[in-house]
Structure 1
Amino acid sequence: LSLTDIAVLPEFRRNGIATTVIQRLQEEAARTGRDVELSVERMNENAFQLYRDLGFEVTGESQVHLSMRWSPTTKKRT
């Protein structure tokens, strides 16, 4: 599965909205035995930390982006 874009309006951030959406995606991925992949801008430290906290690992990098993956077979389910 690929997480293409997720954005939360500033006034609604830090309320667990993105975490909940991503955890639901992880649940679906685990149910179907699939990985979740995404890319995040290097400068977006808050998003990067969120993904790390949810068990994503860096799998590649460019000057601007980091590729990340979460796998139900290697990571605890959230």
Structure 2
Amino acid sequence: MSGFTGSFMLGAGLNLRLASQNDQELIFQLFMESRPWLAWADASSDFIRDLYEQQFRAMRAGVESVYPDHLDFIIENCGTAAGRIIVDLGYADWRISEIQVLKKARGIGIGSNVIEGLQAAAARGNMPLTLSTPIFGSTSFPLYQRLGFQVIGEQMPMLHLAWFPPGHPAALLSNPAPQYG
């Protein structure tokens, strides 16, 4: 029997591998790219950098406290780092707490393919996938709708979404999707 090697092949050249200490610069770059509004402050570049670093530490502490058993993966496309996803494999659901794709790798289906790979794995265990996305300023909501996620709650400033595998009892509930985005 072979052991876990720390990576999952998703097909189409995509791979998820466990993040390592060597990935910290990439992870920080992804954090900055996914939060451009932090750079809008009318301040020096040193102040902006300090602001990003402070917010990055706060985000990491939050993930560690809310999802202590999370898995932090680097998304690779044909062997090149293209993004990151943090997943908590819970007993009631699998929670996607962060998914980020590098700007230079966006628009070619990497995020969709990673989520579809997680959906296929979750379906085998009859596990829902959950995530939250900002109500305003995010372009991700239409993507999540296209991938079958439903709004299960709203708590300003976030929408809480879930995808249910076919046959899951919650999948049978009709939940008309509000229009956001």
TM-score (norm 1): 0.89
Mapping of 1:1-78 within 5 angstroms? 1-73=94-166, 74=171
TM-superposed CA distance for 1:9, in Å, is 1.2
TM-score (norm 2): 0.40
Higher RCO (CA < 8 A, seq sep 6+): 1
Aligned-partner Cα distance in 1 for 2:105–2:130: 24
**Unpaired stretches in structure 1, ≥5 consecutive residues:** none
Aligned-partner Cα distance in 1 for 2:137–2:127: 26
- Per-residue CA distance 1:35-71 (angstroms, 9 max, x = gap): 0000001124421111000000000001110000000
Task: Report the secondary structure of 2:140's partner residue.
Answer: helix
Root-mean-square deviation (CA, aligned residues, Å) is 1.4
For 1:7, the aligned partner's letter is: Q
Aligned-partner Cα distance in 2 for 1:47–1:61: 16
Aligned-partner Cα distance in 2 for 1:63–1:14: 28
For 2:160, the aligned partner's letter is: S
For 2:140, the aligned partner's letter is: A
Task: Report the secondary structure of 1:5's partner residue.
Answer: strand
For 1:42, the aligned partner's letter is: I
Structure 1's consecutive aligned runs of 4 or more residues displaced over 6 angstroms after TM superposition are none
Task: Report the secondary structure of 2:165's partner residue.
Answer: coil
Task: Report the secondary structure of 2:148's partner residue.
Answer: coil
Query: Of Structure 1 and Structure 2, which has the larger fraction of its residues in strand?
Result: 2
Report the counterpart of residue 34 of structure 2 in structure 1: none
Paired residues in the alignment total: 75
Change in 2 beyond 3 A, CA 1:22/1:44 = farther
Percent of pairs with identical residues: 36
